[in-house]
Amino acid sequence: MLSKWLNESSYTVVFTGAGMSTESGLPDFRSQNQGLWNKKDPSKIASTEALNNNVHDFIAFYRERVLGIKEFKPHKGHYILADWEKQGKVNSIITQNVDGFHQQAGSKQVAELHGTLQKLHCQTCGEIYSSEEYIQREYYCSCGGTLRPSIVLFGETLPQDAFQFALEEAEKAELFIVLGSSLSVTPANQFPLVAKEKGAKLVIVNREETDFDLYADQVVNGKEIGEFLTELDD
């Protein structure tokens, strides 16, 4: 069914969540045993308050995360999506992930709703740096301001450019495919509904069921995303 829809669709948008990244080996935030939030309180370490009032622990946590993504790389699913974009089968990707793996695999049209760990910027003047600065233990801008990852912290809104691009893509979609998202985080989880309301076919591929499955035209549970995309590609 999805193979037929993919071939017939004139505008396909893919939405990816944590399940896309965990197949590369990255830990997620909410899983019961391995989730990062089982070890840290997000409101105390991944927030604007921590950046302003507890900068030492903030930097230590995010340096560990920057080092963590350097240990892993995109999996075959990322490369298949990039290849589909080149072939014109996929028009864009909306992602909740901050690892930058879609771009590393070659995808060009990517809306990073929660920002990226691949870049830093100065909290004071906004100048952009590579995340290599954290690896080299360089934490301050030439202006003296604190360097922070270019991700959305608790207490911040989504980047307007990425949000607007994602909204426009969802509205244009004929086929909207969710890969590896529990669709539990707002407002990101509204994009599949926007696409559906505009007439798109909605497909949800996730290890567990989601609260949005009842809106989907096709639901696939219990499959690895890389394996699923490989089968679809074949």
Q: Which residues are catalytic?
A: 114
Annotated binding-site residue? 24: no
Does 18 count as an annotated binding residue?
yes
**What contacts 186, CB < 8 A, 6 or more positions away?**
none
3-state secondary structure 3-56: HHHHHHCCCEEEEECHHHHHCCCCCCCCCCCCCHHHCCCHHHHCEHHHHHHCHH
> Does the annotation place 109 within a ligand binding site?
no
38 annotated ligand-binding residue: no
Asked whether residue 205 is marked as a ligand-binding residue, the answer is no
Is 104 labelled a binding residue?
no
221 is in an annotated binding site: no
Q: Which residues are annotated as a binding site for nicotinamide?
A: 29, 98-99
Residues making up the annotated binding site for NAD(+) are: 18, 22, 29-30, 96, 98-99, 114, 181-182, 206, 224-225
| Binding region for Zn(2+) | 122, 125, 141, 143
